[in-house]
Amino acid sequence: MTLIKADGYIDVRSGKLVTPADILIDGELITAINPEKLPSDVNLIHLPGKILLPGLMDMHTHLDLDFNNGFDDIITKETASKGAIRGVKNAKKTLLAGFTTVRNIGQVHLTTDMIDVALAQASDAGWIIAPRIIPAGHMISIQGGHGDLTLGLAADLIQQTPKNGIINGPQEAIAAVRYQIKNGAKVIKMHATSGVLSLEDTVGAQQLSAAEMKAIVEEAKRHHLKVAAHAHGTEGIKAAIIAGASSIEHGSLLDHEGMKLMKKHGVYLVPTTGADAFIDTSQLHPKLAEKAEFVMPLAKENLKKAIKAGVKIALGTDAPLIPHGQNAYELSAMMSQGMSAIDAIRSATINAADLLGFTDRGEIKVGLLADLIAVDENPVLNLKTVESVSFVMKGGQVFKKQ
């Protein structure tokens, strides 16, 4: 049994600082909070001057990727095995930054191997230092769309199939979903629209048809899995919501009607706007730079409107666009668009847990997982403190203590 003694902890539902913080842990679970009588025979972890938070969660990562003004070398030259090793490196950085759960929302390697599933299984088995990983396997996209990793390469150089997530028509969409699930995916990612860092001419045109999206969502739901929809453009956002997606990733050109639909259907926005602080558009391919410079300011403006409208929001970084290990930057990026500090914290805790459909994490509460982090200040008063986490516990095991 372990006892953590800190100055206080944040009750993320009320937004209040609770003092002191005497957290009793048995195995993976929190068993008591500030009990009247503390047991004497415990492993004591004393964190004077520290404030505890539940482990943070990032709903949009790509652990098998690093970003160096593009991904071409990784996509065309890197094996699946090297991608897995890259993922181990990035998973460790992410956990030590205080993120104890992530969704890996689509791997980006030219292979039918499931890199992120292997990472998730290795994490669950305790082989690697990593967050709990919810893997998507391959992103489901149209031929020539945002998720087609052969876009821009010589025609027929590498054949993409539904196993890689590349589909034409509802039947192939179903086959793609089934292949990802068969091989261990726990969430499905679909590309409703074109994107920024791929060579299509547009950033927001709808790509998957309404029928293809409906087939993807219905097949995933039969297996009790949720669907995350990459969607920048207005029409594609609405089509993905109507098809039954649980989250809209990016949502850059989200309009008022789309916000109303999201609220009506309980769909989360995962905005990823903080990445623009780390992207040097002068170093990008001209087509990508043009799209990024067009869409990034609009994404911020529409996030501001979505916050004001009360759209449900869960944190996502699109790491490595925000570099792995700096994921917490997204919290203050959302705050700069009008979100309160406590709502930013909620986006990475109880909101993320709700999006995932998990009731075992997201707050400091008896019976929940002992996923805990410590910071130097009250983050409700100074949110930047979460960018320098000094203590990380996942499932009762300490991974960082400064």
pLDDT of residue 133: 98
Distance CA 30, CA 34 (A): 11
374 in Cβ contact with 390 (< 8 Å) = yes
Does the structure show a pLDDT above 80 at 157? Answer: no
pLDDT, tens digit, for every residue of 39-92? 889 999 999 999 999 999 999 999 999 998 777 778 778 889 999 999 999 999
Give the pLDDT of residue 197.
Answer: 86
**204, 334, 212, 223: which is closest to 269 by C-alpha?**
334
Q: What is the mean pLDDT of residues 155-170?
A: 89
The lowest-confidence range among 116-130, 152-166, 196-210, 290-304 is: 152-166
* pTM of the predicted structure, to 2 decimals: 0.96
Domains of the chain: 2-54+363-401 (2.30.40.10), 56-356 (3.20.20.140)
Strand 2-11 vs strand 16-18: parallel, antiparallel, or unpaired? antiparallel
Contact predicate 219/178, CB 8 Å: yes
Q: Is the pLDDT of residue 224 over 90?
A: yes
Closest CA to 88 of 67, 105, 66: 66
Position 305 confidence tier, pLDDT thresholds 50, 70, 90: very high
- What pLDDT is attached to residue 137? 97
SS3 annotation, 90-140? HHHHHHHCCEEEEEECCECCCCCCCHHHHHHHHHHCCCCCCCEEEECCECE
Q: In the predicted model, what is the mean pLDDT of the chain? A: 95
Handedness of CA 285, 291, 295, 297 (dihedral sign): positive
Q: How many CB atoms lie within 10 A of CB 123?
A: 22
